Structure 1
Amino acid sequence: MRSINPGRVVAFVVLALFSLLMLAPFLWAINTSFKTEVDAGASPVTILPEGGYTWDTYANLFQMGSIPTWMINSLIVATGVTIITLVISALAGYAFSRLDFTGRKVLLGLTVASIMVPGTIFIVPLFDEMLAFNMVDTYWGIILPQVVAPVMVFILKRFFDNIPRELEDAARVDGAGSFRIFLQIVLPLSRPIIAAVAIFTFVGAWNNFLWPYIVTNDPDLMTLPVGLETVSTGFGVVFAENMAKSVLAALPLIVVFLFFQRQIIKGIATTGLGGQ
């Protein structure tokens, strides 16, 4: 009979408690979203509603807003941001890691320094640029300002640094150039980190509220977080409605996590982006 390791039992109990602690806000949001506004705003707060659970809040949101359209818009924007960010970040990371060119250290230093600059200070000049290029109320106006990700460039650069140069030297002997080496050797070896960067970029673009809110006025172009903010079924503080909006915004990301949880966990372990 296998002996029980007390240390493992304690670790399991602690992890289970932390898991419940992390899940509690989302479970509370789901529970509240199915209550009536009377039960959701009742005092003292109760877990089980006196009037029973109802789908009315979700039904009202779908009737008042174009939620399927907003979900599609969010998918288009998040996918576009992810693809372009990956291309730019991978190429820049490889250039900083492997290529020797004038001003390389200066550019790398500026890239790292820009990580510490708050993105909100660029809101006004970026909006002026979008106006000048007639990109307000367009997909490109939402996507392009989000594709510059210095932290992703630095993460990929650090990963590329650890790829043995002997593999590239052997390819150069066979006549391969830098771009061919990048495509056929570096990228295949970097699939774990690229998957992690892609997932974190997608989640960040999906959750982004401020920039899409500023640059879109057309309801048919709004992303899901922005669109949900524009609809309301009541006045004052509507607890059930706000919780239903949160659940709708988070639901697609939960699906992404369920499909890619192994890559996400590996990405957190590899990049240390758990707090992003």
Structure 2
Amino acid sequence: MAQATRAARPLVRGRAAIWVAGYAVLAVGTVLYLGPFIVQLANSVKTDADAAANPLALLPDPFSAHAWRRAFGLDTALDMPIGRWLGNSLFVTVSVTVGRLLVDSLIGYALARLRFAGRSAVNALVLAVLAVPGVVLLIPKFLVLKQLGIFDSYAGMILPLLCDAVGIMLLKTAFEQVPRELEEAARMDGAGVFTTYWRVVLPLVRPALITVAILSFQGSWNEFTHFLVATSDPAYETLNLGLARLAAGPLGGAQQFPLKLALATLSTIPVLIVYLLFQRHFIASQMNSGGKS
């Protein structure tokens, strides 16, 4: 008995060492990942002089909310229509997210379940789109939008983003994991293709839908290059586009680190809120590969 106990001690110590090392690696990774954001937040509540002299200090000396007051448009000396930028960003982002869920799920279901001529070619084309850098499409996008007459409009900002190759492939994989017997039973009860897709299959891939929604919201909220070529009217500026033009203009020459970092922090808050609200479903989708709700 004593010999068995002595023999087990090295094993327990080895497991404890692995446990400590694993958590140490996680702690270091957390610091490296969250460190820049914490420094950004700390500098946003400093004075300009303190941020320039002590950029890595986490405690402001003195504390100042002046940059945040300016970020929310309370400084009339700086033309910064935050309300309009936020409104445009929210409208475009929500429209793209809802539209992309519908379009991507329809295409994904068709590729996963329907048999039609050219199905393999369409599937290969979707995969090929993933290999095309988005920057090479900027000039063609601009020319197409001008030709269609939707340049400088919400339609030109939203419609080209309603289809996403990544979302299509994620939902296609999720649909393929749904048992076919459920669809066959629905068709025996008289359900058509769309009814089967909408009422039977779609609810079963909810985690995958939420994953696509989070990725779509994040991508369209942070989108910059498409909006840059889709509009030139300040009335349609999104938050990122407005901040970029502001940084290149009135804030281009001055340091004003607290204001710039406060604006950058403000632009990350909506994405953070969406992720925190739906992270449980996002993690479930990663664990279940979209096969279960």
Q: Give the TM-score, by structure 1 length.
A: 0.89
Structure 1 position 59 matched with structure 2 position 74: no
**224-233 or 122-131, which moves further after superposition?**
224-233
Aligned pairs (5 A) from 1:37-186? 37-42=48-53, 46-50=57-61, 52-61=62-71, 62=73, 63=75, 64-186=79-201
Between 202-211 and 255-264, the greater mean CA deviation after superposition:
255-264
Amino acid at match of 1:98: R
Once the two structures are overlaid, the 10-residue window that deviates more, 82-91 or 36-45, is: 36-45
Query: Quick one: distance in 2 between partners of 1:47 and 1:70?
Result: 30
Share of identical aligned residues, percent? 36
CA RMSD of aligned residues (A): 2.2
CA deviations 1:66-119 (Å, max 9, x no partner) are 112211111111111111111111111111111111111111111111111111
Pairwise CA distance, 1:144:
1.1
1:259 alignment partner in structure 2? 277
Instruction: Give per-residue Cα distances to partners, 1:112-152, cap 9 Å, x unaligned.
Output: 11111111211111111211222222111111111221111
Following TM superposition, the consecutive aligned residue runs of length 4 or more in structure 1 with deviations greater than 4 angstroms are 268-272
| Match in the other structure for 1:246 | 264
CA contact (8 A) 1:197 1:267 kept: no
Which structure has the larger Rg over C-alpha atoms? 2
Partner SS, residue 53 of structure 2: coil
Per the alignment, residue 31 of structure 1 pairs with 42
**Relative CO higher for 1 or 2, CA cutoff 8 Å, sep ≥ 6?**
1
SS in 2 for 1:65: coil
- Write the deviation string for residues 9-43 of structure 1: whole angstroms up to 9, x where unpaired: 44333323322221111111001111122221226
Sort the Cα spacing of 1:45 and 1:202 in 2 relative to 1 into closer, same or farther, 3 A.
closer
Q: Quick check: 232-241 or 125-134, which moved more?
A: 232-241
Paired with 1:29 and 1:270, the residues of 2 have a C-alpha distance of 35
For these two proteins, the number of residue pairs brought into alignment is: 269
Consecutive unaligned residues of structure 2, counting only runs of 5 or more, are 1-11
Q: Using structure 2 for the length normalisation, give the TM-score.
A: 0.84
CA change 1:231–1:18 in 2 (3 A) is same
Match of residue 215 from structure 1: 230
Partners of 1:34 and 1:271 in 2: CA distance: 42
1:82 partner amino acid: T
Unaligned runs of 5+ in 1: none
Residue 276 of structure 2 aligns with an amino acid whose one-letter code is L
Moved more, 218-227 or 99-108: 218-227
